Structure 1
């Protein structure tokens, strides 16, 4: 008789639109995984729906998640990434990171994971084609570019716009508000451009990956198009994401995290 493997314990840090969807999916059941804990800056705000889960997780401080679980999923504000991820990888465990832009300000976390046998997983999120980019990067990528178009509401308040006094609230036609590197994009649009950093880390790095950002009152979806030229293939791909409750984030982002978790212990795994 085959031995049944114990389920891998999962915790979720952050219970916003994405974190809540991930928690509910885990509660409904993902092969080989078990939800054991959550953390939130406002735990009282979520008591009602957490109480309705089939198996209510413990509500813990962020600092205790690394001991409670084998995998910690970060769905929190980028300023909390270090406090969530560092204890996890120091224990040789796995952190699933959505605020990937914060990794550029905390690059030592990657070395920390390597040193202790931990792992940082970045889901594809709101982008498309990272499997093709990682495959091309095994060879040589000559260039990589991301062009993002977002409804005005999805960009309001971005530090780059504030710093450069770029007013977009009343625009009536598309306006390019940024052109530069993925590293600069992540700094100027920390709540919007995790996709740029994910693309750069999959490919040729944050300084060589080029980014354009457009505020576009004519679109209702967060639109991303990537263009890659390499020694193995030339490809371009686009995606139009329906915004979630948070206009800065597409609905598909939460689904991407859930798909990533399903792959971890799945009997059949598709894709790179």
Structure 2
């Protein structure tokens, strides 16, 4: 039987922080059916040495040039740039993988734009386990979803919510609950920290019915998330401790989650929803 070969999909990576660099390295080493076409960075000169060491250095383009050369874009950038990265792709029927999931709540029309043009927005599992289970439970009826996040102080410092409410966590000696509310409220107050909560809400009850507690904990070195879900098909709880990447606001597993998703695209065996 003749093997049917498909032309590789071209991938662009927007943002070369800790996550973007890991994804670029994986693509350069080779993922079946994909080719790294381009990258975008706020300061391209800063990354010139890294890019020159790759086997096949990609084109370095401004954000608005990525959709001309790629079929898929992976957003690894500050949340304020999400719209400028995602819109050109989904409006042309292409795919945008979004890590700054919280920004989708302020740009919900991007989902309609994707639907109208045959595009797709993908929010990967990221630093959270169990999204498959939540997605499955949502096919029935979910009664409640609660998440408790505990992070080292360095992973929360400078968050807008803390600044606006004059909450000083720099010198705390014991765990302090700094927020209690909905995933939507958390996304506004902690845009660099709580993309996991937004992903959870999008998989289940939505951002206004998913409740959240955030704790600053000076005794921790890892980001800890615990989720409790009550539904008509199952009651389950999940807990994960994520080792921070070079960026203390982000877990190492986030980049690995995106790489795992990319490998699934042409895999002969696909495990998970």
Question: Which 4+ stretches in 1 moved above 6 angstroms?
Answer: none
CA distance in 2, matches of 1:74, 1:207: 24
CA RMSD of the aligned region, Å? 0.6
SS at match of 2:157: coil
Residues 159-191 of structure 1 deviation map (CA, whole Å, 9 limit, x = unaligned): 111111111101010000000000000000000
* 1:196 has 2:218 as partner: no
- CA displacement at 1:67 relative to structure 2: 1.4
Per-residue deviation, 1:256: 0.6
Which residue pairs with 1:206 in the alignment? 207
1:7 pairs with 2:8: yes
- 1:69-80 equivalences under 5 Å are 69-80=70-81
Q: Distance in 2 between matches of 1:22 and 1:263?
A: 15
Indicate whether 1:174 and 2:175 are aligned: yes
Partner of 2:24: 23
Q: CA deviation at 1:2?
A: 2.4
Cα shift readout 1:43-102 (whole Å, capped 9, x = no counterpart):
110010101111111001100111111110000000000000000000000000000000
Structure-to-structure mapping, 1:215-254, within 5 angstroms: 215-254=216-255
Q: CA deviation at 1:264?
A: 1.6
Report the equivalent of 2:110.
109
Q: Does 1:131 align with 2:132?
A: yes
- C-alpha displacement at 1:157, in angstroms? 0.5
User: Which ranges in structure 2 are unaligned for 5 or more consecutive residues?
Assistant: none
**1:3 Cα deviation after fit:** 2.9
* Distance in 2 separating the partners of 1:177 and 1:100: 21
1:46 maps to which residue? 47
SS where residue 146 of structure 2 aligns?
Answer: strand
Partner Cα separation in structure 2 for residue 30 and residue 145 of structure 1: 36
Give 1:99's aligned residue. Answer: 100
Q: What is the CA distance between 1:28 and its match in structure 2?
A: 0.3
Q: Could you tell me how far apart the structure 2 residues matched to 1:81 and 1:265 are? A: 26
> Partners of 1:3 and 1:213 in 2: how far apart?
50
Deviations 1:191-226 (A, max 9, x none): 000001000000000000000000001111000011
Corresponding residue of 2:87: 86
- Whether 1:255 aligns to 2:256 is yes
Residue deviations 1:2-58 (CA, integer Å, cap 9, x gap) = 231111111100000000000000000111111110001111100101011111110
- Confirm or deny: 8 A CA contact 1:32 1:266 kept in the other structure: no
